[in-house]
Structures are given as structure tokens and as C-alpha cells.
Amino acid sequence: MKINLLVQFLALIDELRGREETTAEFERLITLYGFEYYWLNQSPRPVESVLSLLLAGRWPEGWPETYLRRSYMQVDPTVRYLGHAQVGFRWRDTLGAFRASPHRKRMERMMVDARQNGLEDGYLFPVHGRRGLLGSLSIGGRPVELETAEMALFDSIARRLYWKLLHAADPQEAERLSAIVDVELTRREMEALALLAQGMTSHDIGRVLGISNHTVDWYMNGIQEKLGARNRHHAIAIAFRLGLVS
């Protein structure tokens, strides 16, 4: 059974030496599974390029250039879906989540371009850590049917592969991302932060918590200082990244 290949890889990964041996063994695995292409990357921040944070990959010739030139990152339905996913999912299933999106036509155009470049279908597996979404593993090419158990094992492989290659590429970044989040918020600050993340104003938060707007603002100033945030929007972004709100 092919599923045994996944179990064997998970048992073997800690014994693999260095990036080259690890990626070679992973590429052998996905080839045996019928996949042609893959990419493993860290989650980019707004000012960073996806390609600059790539840990390993193999894709159709010319596809990265097309993807960047046509700014597909902004509308890619798989990337948008990834932001809310807790487990792996299939590329073709993501368009259904954006039926009402004003970017629907560009999303469809991107998927057509991907198919024309040999990326007919595939799967995307998120990698989460103490600081939220850290990265992802995509595998694809010709359509391959994965069972539920295989999806779960690929989820595990994505996490193990991510950390092994990140440690090889940037040990300091791996240490930073795996470190315990040391942010001490009071119960009231956590309540106010959760309500802020729901889009509430100071007036709304004060009404729910039974406190004045001035007290809410005092809590918000404390939250921003502890998180090192420039403003409330920045505080929410950091809180999501650290897993303080969901």
C-alpha cells in the first residue's frame, strides 16, 4: 500500500542528513505517490516575496515568473483558504469558498493558467506553531486521490519537513519560532483583545465588559505596549500570529 510509504518517511526523516538528502528522499516519496511538483515555504509577511522564503521546491518551468508577473499571490484562492485552514485541503475545493468574491474571475484565470502549466490539481498543508501559521507544503501536478488517512499523514510530514529544513537553512529563525511566547496579558486585557479582534469599537467593548471607554482605551494602550504594536490593527495582527486570538 502507498500509505506505508508515508509511514516509512515519517520514521526515517530524523535520520536523514542535511537538506539535500532530506529533499531527495521527499521528492522520491511524492514521485511514487504520483505528484510531480511541490514547494515548502515560510508564511510571508506583507513586505516579503513568497520565493524569498522558499525552503525547498520543484515546479513547472516558468510558473513562478508567471505567478509573480500577474500578481496572482493577491487573489490565489489556495493562499486565501490557507489563512483559515487547520488541516490539509485540495486546491480545486477552494474556489467554492469565494463565490461572492469580487476577484472571482481572476481566481478562475489563475487556476486555468496553473492547469495549463501542468498544475492540474494538488493539495496544500498548513504548518502551525505557537505563533500561528508558520508556513505550508504544496504538492501537485496531475490529479491524485488521497484518502483521509493519507491526508493526515501528509499533514504530519509537512510539519516535520518544515522544521527540519528550517533548522538546516536558518537555525536562529527556527529557534525564534519555536520559542515559548512570553506575553503576559491580564484577564481583562485578553477579553478586550478578543472583542477588538471581532471588530468592536471602544464603545462596543466598554458596553460588553461594563466599563467606560476611557478604561477600554487604557487596556488597549497596555495591550499595544506588551505586544510591541504600533496601533490597534497591528495589535490584532500580532495577536493572531501568536495564537492569542482565533
Query: What is the domain-level CATH number for residue 113?
Result: 3.30.450.80
pLDDT given for residue 47 in this prediction = 43
> Is there a single domain that holds both residue 141 and residue 109?
yes
- Domain boundary pick from 147, 178, 209: 178
Query: Strand 89-90 vs strand 121-129: parallel, antiparallel, or unpaired?
Result: antiparallel
Average pLDDT, the chain: 89
Flag whether pLDDT at 165 surpasses 80: yes
Q: Is 142 left (phi over 0), alpha (psi -120 to 50) or beta?
A: beta
The pTM score is: 0.77
> Is there a single domain that holds both residue 124 and residue 212?
no
> Is there a single domain that holds both residue 121 and residue 222?
no
> Is there a single domain that holds both residue 94 and residue 197?
no
* Half-sphere exposure of residue 117: CA atoms within 13 angstroms, side-chain side: 18
Grid coordinates of 129: 506553531
Q: Give Cα 83 to chain centroid, integer Å.
A: 6
Distance, in Å, from the CA atom of 165 to the CA atom of 31, rounded to the nearest integer, reads: 19
Flag whether pLDDT at 46 surpasses 50: no
> Is there a single domain that holds both residue 194 and residue 166?
no
Flag whether pLDDT at 184 surpasses 50: yes
Radius of gyration of the chain (CA): 21
Distance, in Å, from the CA atom of 221 to the CA atom of 232, rounded to the nearest integer, reads: 9
Domain count, the chain: 2
Q: Which domain holds residue 230?
A: 187-242
> Is there a single domain that holds both residue 24 and residue 137?
yes
> Is there a single domain that holds both residue 156 and residue 217?
no
User: Which residues on adjacent β-strands are paired with residue 57?
Assistant: 39
> Is there a single domain that holds both residue 130 and residue 227?
no
pLDDT given for residue 21 in this prediction = 96
> Is there a single domain that holds both residue 222 and residue 165?
no
> Is there a single domain that holds both residue 66 and residue 164?
yes
> Is there a single domain that holds both residue 161 and residue 109?
yes
Amino acid, res. 20: E
pLDDT category, 51, cuts 50, 70, 90?
Answer: low
